[in-house]
Amino acid sequence: MSALEKSTDPTDTLDSNDGQIENNDDTQQYLTFLMDGEEYGVDILSVQEIRSWEQATSIPNVPDYVKGVINLRGTIVPIIDLRTRFGIVQEEYSRITVVIVLKIKTSKGERITGIVVDAVSDVYSLATENMRSPPDVSSHVNTDFIKGLINVKEKMVILLDLDKLLDIEKIQTKIEE
Amino acid sequence: MSIDLSQFHQVFFEECFEGLDVMENGLLELDLDDIDSELINSVFRAAHSIKGGSGTFGFSSVADFTHVLETLLDDIRSEKRTMDKQGVDLFLLSVDCLRQLLHQLHAKEEPDLDQANQLKLKFEAILAIGLDGEVAEVNDVTDVNKDDKLEVHDGIGYWEIIFKPHPEIVQTGNEPSRLLKQLAVMGELDVEANIENLPDFTALDPELLFVKWTLKLRTKENKGAISEIFEWVVDDSDITITWIDESVIQETITENPKDTADNITSIKENSENKVTKKVSKPKASVESQSIRVATDKVDSLINMVGELVITQSMLGQLGKDFSMERVHRLQEGLIQLEHNTRELQESVMRIRMLPISFSFNRFPRLVRDLSHTLNKKIDLKLSGENTELDKTVMEKIGDPMVHMVRNSLDHGIETPDVRKAAGKNETGTLTLSAYHQGGNIIIEINDDGAGLNTQKIKEKAIEKGLIKESDNLDDDKINDLIFQPGFSTADVISDVSGRGVGMDVVRRNITELSGTVEVKSVPGEGSTFKIRLPLTLAILDGQLVRVGKEIYILPLVSIVESILVDEEFVNNVGGGFEVLRLREEYIPIIKLYDVFGVEPDSRKLTDGLLVVVEGENKKVGFIVDELMEQQQVVIKSLEANFQKVDGVSGATILGDGTVAMILDVPGLIQLSGIQLISNLKAGNNAA
Amino acid sequence: MSSILAVDDSASMRQMVSFTLKGAGFDVTEANDGQQALDIAKTRSFDLVLSDVNMPVMDGITLVKNLRNLGDYKFTPILMLTTESAGDKKGEGKAAGATGWIVKPFNPDQLLKTIKRVLD
C-alpha cells in the first residue's frame, strides 16, 4: 500500500521531486496513477479520497465501463473502470487496485464519481506551461479526454480532462454515435 | 456595525407570500353585508407587515404600493370607509400584482411596476375622495413648528431648557437622568435641579418624580436636535427651550439646506385608468428552500435524540466488558435502539409534513374566478385541511389538482339552467377532501355535476383504436380511459380546460409521486377523482426480491400477489411474450433477467416466483428467483451523481451497507415493450 | 449583559432585530405576539422590551398596558416599533405607557442608536 501512503502526504513527495518544482502561480498539483504501464495525472483538487476496490452494485443497461454504484457514507456513487473506458484489456482486480473518488463540476452541478485504476503513483507539482497538446492520433486512448502531455523526470505523464472524461451525458451520446 | 440584510430576505419573502395568502383568503371569505372585523384586521395586518418588512429590507417599490393598500384597509377596519365588491376585486388584483412583484424581486429580476403603478393610481383616487370631517394627516406629537425646529444660533449664548416632568414620567420607562446624559453629549451642559416640590421624606412616593430642572446647554446643534431628545416625554412633561443671547450681535437664523420634507413633489403619471392584466408566471427556479417547523415537532425530536443518547451509552457500556451472560441485555438494548431509531425517523419525517391547507388554499380564489368566467354557480367545500403531507409531495400535487378542479368546474358542473331543468339545485358543489388511510393520504375531488359520459368515452376510444367494439369492459374501465394520452371528450374546447395538458399528464405526475388516481362517476350525480399518495417520498415500504446475484426492491404498494407459475396457464402471444392466465385475467410476464441483462438462478418459469404488480392500472408479473424480506428503505437518488436509469426509480442502502436498486414498475412495463392499455378479460378474443 | 425581549409577528423583522442586538452583545429573547411576550415576561424580567404594534392575538398597545400592570415592568423601558402610517398611533402607545418608539423602516444602526437612549 506504499502508493496510498505516498499520495496522502503531498508535501513529502514535493521534496523528493524538487527537480520539477517551480513554486510559481502556474504550477498545479497532480495526483498520478498507473494503468497498463502508462502514468496518468488528475488535478489533485478534484480528488476527494482514495479507497481500495470493493464490489459495486451493478446498474442495469449501462455501458460496461460503469461498474455500478457503491455506498460512500450514505451517498450513492457510481464507479467507472478506466481501463474499460479507455479500451485497455481488463485485468483482474488485485490487492493494489484502487478507486480514486473524484468530485467534479459538470454541466449538472457537482458530481462524485469513483474511477478504478491499477495503482496510485505519485503527486507532482507541474507547471502547466510545459504541457504539450496531445498528438492527433493516439495509439489506444481517445484523445478527447486528454488535457495534455507533460514530462516528469524523463517520463511522460498524461494529464486527463476530468470534466470531459466523466460528463456522463456526453459519454452516452458518444457511445450511441 | 454593518449587517448584511440580505440574509433575512429568504424569510422575508416566505413571510410575504404567506401574508399574501392570508390577504387573498381573507378577502375571499369576506361577507360584504356583514364585515367580520377580525377578518379585515388580519388582512390589514398582513398588508402592514409586508409594508414594514419591504421597507426595512430595501424593497421600496413593494413598500410604496402596499402603503396605499394599507391606508385604505385601515380606513375600512376603522369603519371610515366601506368595502364593496369592486373594492374586493381591486384588492385581489393587488394581491396578484404584489405576488408577481415579490417573485420577481426574489428571483433578483427587475420588477415590472406598470401594473402596480396603475393600481396605485386607482387606490389614490379612492383615497382622494376624502372622509367627511376627518383630518387626513395625523399630527406628529413632537412636530414643533418647522421653522422653530430649525432654529440655529451661532452667536454667543446658550439654550435654556426648563424641563418640568410630570410626577408619573418614570412609569413610562423614561428616566430624566438619561435625557440629561444625552444633552451633555451635545455640548457644555449646566444642570440646576429644583426640588421645591419634593414632599417630606415620610410622604415620598418612590414611584413618582418631583424634581424639575433648569438646564443651560452651549451647543452648535439646532433646536430640533434638542427637542428630539425630549420627543418621547413631551406628553409627560412641560418643556420650554429658549435661546438666551449673551452677545449684542443680532441673532441670525440660517436656513437648513437639508430641508427636503417640504419639497416632496408627487409625480403624477398620465393617469390611464385601465389596469392591464399582465401576470407573468413566476420563474420556477425560485423554490423555497427552507421549511418552518412547529416548535413541538422540534421538541419531540430533541427528546428522541436524548433517548437515543441514553441507549447508545448503555450499549457502549455493555460493549466495554461484554460476556455471554449479558447477551440478553445486549438484545434488550438493540430492541430499544430499534425503537428509538423508528421514533426518530418518524419525527424527522414529521418535520417535512405540512397541512394540506397550504395546497387547498388556492382553490377558493380559483373557484370564484372560474365560476365568473363560466357563468356557473359553484359552492366550494373543503374538508380535512389539517391532514398532513410531505412538503415535496404537496408541491408536486398542486398542478395536477388544479387541473382536475378546472375539469370538474368546466365539464362536470352544469350551468344553472341545465341544473334547474334536471331538478337539481342551481348551485353546484365542488368538494375537496383529504384524509389518511394506512400509509397514504387520499385526496378526493368530488362534484355533483353531470358525471362522465361513458358512452361518449367508449365511442372515442374505439375511434382512436384504444379498445375494440367487442371488448367487454365495465364502466369503470371505460371511464379510466380518460387518463390515456390525447383523450378529451369535451364538447367544446373552452379556455378553462381541454387545452394544454390532459388527464394523461395528471396521471403521469401522480405516478411519478408513486401515487395512483382513479375516477368514479355516476351519470347525473357527478364524479369523484380519488388520488392516493404516499405520505412521504423519502421512505418506501419495500419488498426485497432476488434475481441471480442481484437484489432489487419492489414498492410494496404496487404488489398485488406472488404466485408459483403453473406452465399449464402460460400462453405464448406474439412478439415473444408470454402471458399467464390468472383467474379472469391475462398477466403479461416480464423477465427481469432479460430486461436487466443479469444471470438468474434458473430460466425456467416454474423454478421462480411470479410477483404480480400493478402500475398505471396495468397488471404485469415479474419473474424473480426469490422473495426476500420486506423492509422500509430510504430512497436515494441515482441522478445526484449519475443519471436517470430506465426501469429504476432510485437506490437505497441495505442493512449490510450495500446498495440496491429500487424498481420503477411503470418504467419497467415500458422498458419491457409490452403495449397494453389494460388487462384484457379472459374469455375474449385474446384467448 | 442587558436582556431584551423582542416582540414581532413578522419572522424576518424578529430575526433582523435579534441578529442586530445579539451582535451588539445583548441577550435577546423573541416572542411572536403580545400574548406570548406577556407569558414570557411573567416568568422573568428584561431590561428592555421592543414591540411591534400590529400583531395577532394581542397587539403591542395591549401588551404595554398589561406589562405596566406587572410589578416588574412598571419602570422598564418599552419601545414600540411603529410606522408613520395611521395604523400605528404613537400617541396611543405613549398613552398606554410606552417609553418611546422606533419608526419603521429602520436599519440596524438606527435601531442600536435608539436603544442606546434607554440602555447602557
Among B288-302, B374-388, C70-84, whose mean pLDDT is lowest? Answer: B288-302
Band (pLDDT 50/70/90 cuts) for residue B663 is very high
pLDDT mean across residues, chain B:
80
In this structure, are B451 and B552 located in the same domain? no
Q: How far off is chain B from A131, nearest CA to CA, in Å?
A: 30
Question: Which among B60, B19, B58, B65 has a CA at the least distance from the CA of B42?
Answer: B19
Q: What residues have CB less than 8 Å from B331, skipping those under 6 apart?
A: none
Q: What is the pLDDT of residue B148?
A: 58
Band (pLDDT 50/70/90 cuts) for residue B152 is low
In this structure, are B384 and B360 located in the same domain? yes
pLDDT mean across residues, chain C:
86
Cβ distance A70 to B659 less than 8 Å, yes or no, reads: yes
In this structure, are B10 and B103 located in the same domain? yes
Cβ distance A56 to B660 less than 8 Å, yes or no, reads: no
Residue B550 forms contact with A (CB below 8 Å): yes
In this structure, are B339 and B377 located in the same domain? no
Nearest to C13 among B14, B53, B174 (CB): B53
Cβ distance B138 to C100 less than 8 Å, yes or no, reads: no
Residue B647 forms contact with A (CB below 8 Å): yes
Residue C102 forms contact with B (CB below 8 Å): no
Residue C96 forms contact with B (CB below 8 Å): no
Buried b or exposed e, range B500-523, using 16+ CB within 10 angstroms? eebbeebbbbbbebbbbbebbbee
Return the C-alpha cell found at B282: 413566476
Cβ distance B638 to A61 less than 8 Å, yes or no, reads: no
Residue C100 forms contact with B (CB below 8 Å): yes
User: Residue B278: inside a domain, yes or no?
Assistant: no
In this structure, are B115 and B10 located in the same domain? yes
Determine if residue B390 is left, alpha or beta; phi over 0 gives left, psi from -120 to 50 gives alpha, anything else beta: beta
Band (pLDDT 50/70/90 cuts) for residue A40 is very high
In this structure, are B224 and B338 located in the same domain? no
Residue B597 forms contact with A (CB below 8 Å): yes
| Model confidence pLDDT, tens digit, residues B79-112 | 888 888 888 888 988 899 999 889 888 888 888 8
Name chain B contacts of C97, Cβ cutoff 8 Å.
171-173
Q: What is the pLDDT of residue A47?
A: 92
- What are the phi and psi torsion angles at A73 (to 5°)? 45, 50
CA-based R_g, chain A, Å = 16
Band (pLDDT 50/70/90 cuts) for residue B617 is low
| pLDDT at B236 > cutoff 90 | no
Residue C65 forms contact with B (CB below 8 Å): no
In this structure, are B343 and B378 located in the same domain? no
| pLDDT at A176 > cutoff 80 | no
Name chain B contacts of C57, Cβ cutoff 8 Å.
none
Q: How far off is chain C from B598, nearest CA to CA, in Å?
A: 55
Q: What is the pLDDT of residue A12?
A: 41
Cβ distance B173 to C90 less than 8 Å, yes or no, reads: no
Q: How far off is chain B from A129, nearest CA to CA, in Å?
A: 32
The full set of domains in chain C, from first to last, is 3-115 (3.40.50.2300)
Q: What is the pLDDT of residue B660?
A: 95
Residue B17 forms contact with C (CB below 8 Å): no
Nearest to C118 among B1, B67, B173 (CB): B173
ipTM of the complex: 0.86
What CATH number corresponds to the domain at position B230? 3.30.70
Q: How far off is chain B from A104, nearest CA to CA, in Å?
A: 10
Mean pLDDT of A6-27: 47
CA-based R_g, chain C, Å = 13
In this structure, are B315 and B235 located in the same domain? no
User: Residue B423: inside a domain, yes or no?
Assistant: yes
Contact, B671 vs B652, CB < 8 A?
Answer: no
Query: Count of domains in chain A?
Result: 1
Amino acid symbol at B153: H
DSSP β-ladder status, B526-534 and B440-447: antiparallel
What CATH number corresponds to the domain at position A156? 2.40.50.180
Name chain A contacts of B633, Cβ cutoff 8 Å.
none
Per the model's pLDDT, the better-predicted residue between B438 and B343 turns out to be B343
Cβ distance C112 to B1 less than 8 Å, yes or no, reads: yes
| pLDDT at A32 > cutoff 90 | yes
In this structure, are B433 and B506 located in the same domain? yes
Q: Are there at least 3 beta-carbon pairs closer than 8 Å between A and B?
A: yes
Q: What is the pLDDT of residue B129?
A: 76
User: Residue B635: inside a domain, yes or no?
Assistant: yes
In this structure, are B12 and B81 located in the same domain? yes
| Model confidence pLDDT, tens digit, residues C43-99 | 888 999 999 988 888 988 899 999 988 878 888 899 988 876 655 567 777 778 888
In this structure, are B346 and B366 located in the same domain? no
User: Residue B291: inside a domain, yes or no?
Assistant: no
Q: Are there at least 3 beta-carbon pairs closer than 8 Å between A and C?
A: no
Nearest CA in chain B to C56: B42
Q: Is B486 exposed, middle or buried, given 0-12, 13-18 or 19+ CB atoms closer than 10 A?
A: exposed
Band (pLDDT 50/70/90 cuts) for residue B284 is very low
Name chain C contacts of B2, Cβ cutoff 8 Å.
108-109
Return the C-alpha cell found at B302: 430533541
Contact, A77 vs A70, CB < 8 A?
Answer: yes
Residue B657 forms contact with A (CB below 8 Å): yes
Among B487-501, B502-516, B612-626, whose mean pLDDT is lowest? Answer: B487-501
Residues comprising chain B, all counted: 687
Band (pLDDT 50/70/90 cuts) for residue B130 is low
Helix B363-374 and helix B9-29: axis angle, to 10°?
50
Furthest C-alpha separation in chain A: 48
Q: What is the pLDDT of residue B282?
A: 41
| pLDDT at B140 > cutoff 90 | no
Cβ distance B641 to A70 less than 8 Å, yes or no, reads: no
Residue C119 forms contact with B (CB below 8 Å): no
Determine if residue B609 is left, alpha or beta; phi over 0 gives left, psi from -120 to 50 gives alpha, anything else beta: beta
DSSP β-ladder status, B378-383 and B428-437: parallel
Among B247-261, B390-404, B556-570, C61-75, whose mean pLDDT is lowest? Answer: B247-261
User: Residue B135: inside a domain, yes or no?
Assistant: no
The kind and range of the H/E element at B37 are helix B37-56
Q: What residues have CB less than 8 Å from B366, skipping those under 6 apart?
A: B402, B405, B406
Query: Count of domains in chain B?
Result: 5
What CATH number corresponds to the domain at position B504? 3.30.565.10
| Model confidence pLDDT, tens digit, residues B632-646 | 888 888 888 888 888
Domain boundary among B351, B385, B420: B351
Q: How far off is chain B from C35, nearest CA to CA, in Å?
A: 16
| Model confidence pLDDT, tens digit, residues B545-586 | 999 999 999 988 889 999 998 888 888 877 678 888 888 888
Q: What is the pLDDT of residue A78?
A: 94
CA distance C2 to C119: 8
Cβ distance C87 to B12 less than 8 Å, yes or no, reads: no
In this structure, are B316 and B411 located in the same domain? no
Counting Cα atoms < 13 Å in the Cβ hemisphere of A94 gives: 9
Per the model's pLDDT, the better-predicted residue between B297 and B633 turns out to be B633
Q: What residues have CB less than 8 Å from A21, skipping those under 6 apart?
A: A14, A27, A125
Nearest to C104 among B3, B52, B74 (CB): B52
| pLDDT at B158 > cutoff 70 | yes
Q: What is the pLDDT of residue B251?
A: 42
Size of interface B-C (CB pairs under 8 A): 122
| Model confidence pLDDT, tens digit, residues B532-542 | 888 777 778 89
pTM over 0.80: no
Nearest to A69 among B550, B597, B659 (CB): B659
User: Residue B19: inside a domain, yes or no?
Assistant: yes
- Domain range for A151 is 2-176
Q: Which of B285-299, B395-409, B454-468, B477-491 has the highest mean pLDDT?
A: B395-409
pLDDT > 70 fraction of chain C, expressed in percent and rounded: 93
Mutate to test the interface with B, among C2, C15, C26, C54 (most CBs of B within 10 A): C54
| pLDDT at B281 > cutoff 60 | no
Mutate to test the interface with A, among B635, B641, B646, B658 (most CBs of A within 10 A): B641
| pLDDT at B149 > cutoff 80 | no
CA distance C56 to B336: 44
Furthest C-alpha separation in chain B: 126
User: Residue B162: inside a domain, yes or no?
Assistant: yes
CA distance A118 to A141: 16
Size of interface A-B (CB pairs under 8 A): 67
| pLDDT at A140 > cutoff 70 | no
CA distance A119 to B164: 89
User: Residue B13: inside a domain, yes or no?
Assistant: yes
- Domain range for B14 is 5-128
| pLDDT at A13 > cutoff 50 | no
